[in-house]
Structure 1
Amino acid sequence: MDSANGDVPIAATPPFGASTSAYEAWARAEVGHWRAGLLKPEGGLGRAARGVQGRINRLIPEQVHATVTSVVERMTRTILTGANLTTAAPLQGADLAERDRRALAAIDGYRKTAAVEGGVTGAGGFWMALADFPALMVIKLKLLFDLSAIYGHDAEAFAERLYLLQLFQLAFSGGGRRADLLAAIEDWDARPHPDDFAHFDWRRFQIEYRDHIDLAKLAQMIPLVGAPVGAVVNWRLTERLGETAMNGYRMRWLAR
């Protein structure tokens, strides 16, 4: 992942054979490493990327912006209602090591699916690349809901869906917002939460996600290189969301 954006790849090998207490101590250190990466001040490369992003945003056809915004809006409505989402039953009786093992397997499966989908649509040029936005969004949604169940949470509950939105924002927000978003998910189970999304800033949510992926996804529309770029970008975006969700759920587990 791109360290300039505060990404920390899922690279450490979990000590699955360790005792429960030893594994949780290892996981706590991993969460600390992840938090430090998120809170690391944005470097010159990150600031330069934001400047380039701003200029590219002004050059991208409005139709592209409208398509991405529409997809994100539909995604947020799906999280709100959720009637058409199949959610697995929360996993019971497993320790953190087993949950992490299942989470890593789920992330690996979803990022492979996302890479194949990105390669296929990237090979099809501009219009196929546009079709990639909703397809990738469905993949990310399903990953979040599966991880919620793996870590023992019921995604049918409103508070859990709000938590999923917070994780999504944290994964795809700029450096200036990460500290606030991280604070919002810390001690999640010990604090009360709103009963509706009345005060959720949907517009900012959409803009931040769109701005985060525009620069990378734009290259997917370029002939000849679109397929490999689409595969790599989708892999990394899915991995980033999985890594964020995994550490967010580890934090909740360890806070207990």
Structure 2
Amino acid sequence: MTLSPDLLAWRADLIQPPGPLNGLARAAQQRINRIIPEKVHAAITTAIEGMTRAMLTGADFATGSPLHDLTLDERRARAAKAIDGWKKTAAVEGGVTGAGGFLMAAADFPLLMSFKIKLLFEIAAIFGHDGTALPERLFILHVFELAFSDGAHRAGALAALDHWDSKPHPQHLDDFDWRAFQQQYRDHIDLAKLAQFLPVVGAPLGAIVNWRLVEKLGHTAVMAYRMRAEQGANPQIGTGAEVPLL
């Protein structure tokens, strides 16, 4: 089945090669990285690893039973409401932690990641999927990778999501490359997010960037579940125009 035009455009945009400004942004990112104390870097890496493991094995992130017998418009409306709620929560949290210096800003990473993961589980349920099942958790992880990876890795994440319901999936958690997952997330943190660690500007940037990162993830998730539906057994869930607010 041919995907909707907006889904095809979204896929093409995801795998576009990085532009010339990407190298400049990367250099600036590396300079800010050198300013941040090593113990903060270590705390962030540990937090990401622990959160990834918790997501793969824990039951705390599931946010409700899968919803059935809803129209596409109803699903999109529920998803937009969930995204809006988590954007506001993340913005408040980012502003508070950004005002507290290096250590408080470091605490933002596990908190923000937990918000993002809970949002993904909520969107999964909205689109009729059970987040307690291992294949669904793996799908969620690949959606996360798709939103927060470099161009080369996004292509692989997109390929992993393609025709998800018609191909076999790993039967053990050890089969998932969670180290690559956490490294991509860590490396993808953009210049503004790193600047949250800096005095004075940290608070406003923390609020703005958290808002935008949650918005980006929510949009990616909605499009991924629409693509999954159009490629699978329930194309009626996935067809339609792009969500205006996402």
* TM-score in terms of structure 2 length: 0.88
The letter for the 1-side match of 2:10 is W
* Contact 2:147/2:217, CA 8 A, preserved across alignment: yes
- Unpaired runs of 5+ residues, structure 2, are 233-246
Q: Per the alignment, in what secondary structure is the counterpart of residue 70 of structure 1? A: helix
Query: 1:125, 1:59 → 2: CA distance?
Result: 13
Indicate the residue corresponding to 1:209 in structure 2: 185
Query: 1:62, 1:202 → 2: CA distance?
Result: 22
Query: 2:149, 2:61 → 1: CA distance?
Result: 25
Indicate the residue corresponding to 1:87 in structure 2: 63
Query: 1:37, 1:55 → 2: CA distance?
Result: 28
Matches within 5 A, 1:1-256: 28-213=4-189, 215-256=191-232
Q: Tell me which stretches of 4 or more aligned residues in structure 1 moved more than 6 Å.
A: none
* Contact 1:115/1:234, CA 8 A, preserved across alignment: yes
CA spacing shift, 1:52–1:225, aligned 2, 3 Å = closer
**Alpha-carbon distance, 1:247 to partner:** 0.6
The letter for the 1-side match of 2:229 is W
- Unpaired runs of 5+ residues, structure 1, are 1-24
> Which string of whole-angstrom CA distances, capped at 9 and with x for unpartnered residues, describes residues 24-52 of structure 1?
x9x82221221111011210012322233
> Which string of whole-angstrom CA distances, capped at 9 and with x for unpartnered residues, describes residues 56-107 of structure 1?
4344322121111111111111122123334300001012221111111111
Indicate the residue corresponding to 2:236 in structure 1: none
Percentage identity across paired residues of the two chains: 58
CA RMSD of aligned residues (A): 1.7
* TM-score in terms of structure 1 length: 0.85
CA spacing shift, 1:121–1:238, aligned 2, 3 Å = same
Tell me whether 112-121 or 206-215 shows the greater mean CA deviation: 206-215
**Alpha-carbon distance, 1:228 to partner:** 0.7
The letter for the 2-side match of 1:38 is L
